[in-house]
Amino acid sequence: MMFLMLLGCDVEAPADPAATTEVLFTVPAGATARGLGDDLVDAGLLGAEWKWEWFLRMGTDGSCIKAGRHRVKASMDAPTLLAALCGPPVPKDEPFTIPEGWRARDIDAALAAKGWIKAGAYLESTRDVSAYTAVFPLPTNGTLEGYLYPETYRVEPDGFDPKALVQRQLDTFAARFWDVRQKAQGEAGARPLHDIVTMASLLEREEPTPTNRPLVAGILWRRIDAGWNLGVDATSRYTLDDWNDRKSFLKQLRDPADPWNTRLRPGLPPTPIGNPGVGALEAASSPTTSEFWYYLHDSTQTLHPSRTVAEHEGYRKKYDVY
């Protein structure tokens, strides 16, 4: 009876010749090619299990299949499908999200918490600047802080290579910001890239509302150009093990020897204080010019810019911000 069913039937024909969608099909460990028939039907990759059975009986060696995930389509005929299942499986990758503003040490801690690295391995990789290539000028201060673009990356936990992630972050920085900036304005008349990256890292911490960042950037650049101290308290948190350690933070604010203390020292801090996203980078690169010199945030994180010390102190009193 089965022989009669085969008459006029192409057992190698694809389940859906017009299919274009790629799917991931998992071959369980220890599975045989013949034992996959029902699973292939359930996945829509076969029209009938018996066709797969007869295809394999016609002298086809299915012992080559490999356990793991494979990219396949319902438009594959039986020989092509088998070849795909015998090919290298798709790596077991996982998403790893780096929030905007995280420091290199925060990324290191998150990777270590997952068990993908030994604590400190990623951080050490960010200090080996000469090990990486980039289309933009890399910093010369011994750290890639600020250029480690925050994004969700798919990574392979097995044999995780922190340097490979760092290179991907640099490449993403180029794609998301540098390439676009170069096309828009080039380098003519622009502030140095490292200054822009450093300013952007401050904006990530200083201004929670993205639409306000160009205005805050303009105020901070105005202070820089006038030779004022920036007075951005977030910079004094940069070297803390715990960003929210208030006791240590208050101690840092009173330390004139701390290079990141922008209350007591002029100019930008020596390094970015985190890794900014494209919104903050664009704001630092294209600030809004205004008449304001000061700003503060009330308890609802609403921004209040001011023109004079008296106006600024009035806002402090009104919103109880000290």
41-85 residue pLDDT tens: 999 999 899 999 989 988 777 889 999 989 999 999 999 999 999
User: Which of residues 52, 86, 120 is at a domain's end?
Assistant: 86
253-309 residue pLDDT tens: 999 999 999 999 999 999 999 999 999 999 999 999 999 999 999 999 999 999 999
Radius of gyration of the chain (CA): 29
Supply the pTM of this predicted model: 0.76
d(CA 320, CA 322): 6
Does the pLDDT at position 184 exceed 50?
yes
- Is the CB of residue 217 less than 8 Å from the CB of residue 209? no
Burial of 31 (0-12, 13-18, 19+ CB in 10 A): middle
Considering the domain architecture, whether residues 235 and 127 belong to the same structural domain is answered as: no
Considering the domain architecture, whether residues 261 and 203 belong to the same structural domain is answered as: yes
- The count of domains in the chain is 3
Query: pLDDT at position 1, please?
Result: 36
Query: pLDDT at position 5, please?
Result: 45
**203-to-74, 160, 167 alpha-carbon distances in Å:** 49, 32, 24
136-176 residue pLDDT tens: 999 999 999 999 999 999 998 988 999 999 999 999 999 99
User: Which of residues 28, 61, 86 is at a domain's end?
Assistant: 86
Considering the domain architecture, whether residues 62 and 168 belong to the same structural domain is answered as: no
Domain span at residue 55? Answer: 2-86
d(CA 148, CA 273): 12
- Is the CB of residue 297 less than 8 Å from the CB of residue 303? yes
* Long-range contact set of residues 160-169: C-beta below 8 Å, sequence gap at least 24: 160/111, 160/116, 160/117, 162/111, 162/117, 162/121, 162/122, 162/124, 162/125, 163/125, 163/128, 163/131, 163/132, 165/96, 165/122, 166/122, 166/125, 166/126, 166/132, 167/132, 167/133, 169/98, 169/275
Considering the domain architecture, whether residues 203 and 314 belong to the same structural domain is answered as: yes
306-317 residue pLDDT tens: 999 999 999 999
Q: 74 or 90: which carries more pLDDT confidence?
A: 74
311: its two tokens: 């106006």
User: Which of residues 129, 162, 185 is at a domain's end?
Assistant: 185
Residue 125: count other Cβ atoms within 10 Å of its Cβ. Answer: 22
Mapping DSSP to helix (H, G, I), strand (E, B) and coil, where does residue 318 land? helix
Considering the domain architecture, whether residues 70 and 101 belong to the same structural domain is answered as: no
Which residue, among 152, 173, 153, has the nearest Cα to 164 in the 3D structure?
Answer: 153
Considering the domain architecture, whether residues 206 and 106 belong to the same structural domain is answered as: no
> What average pLDDT does the chain have?
92
d(CA 277, CA 228): 26
Considering the domain architecture, whether residues 45 and 116 belong to the same structural domain is answered as: no
Considering the domain architecture, whether residues 17 and 130 belong to the same structural domain is answered as: no
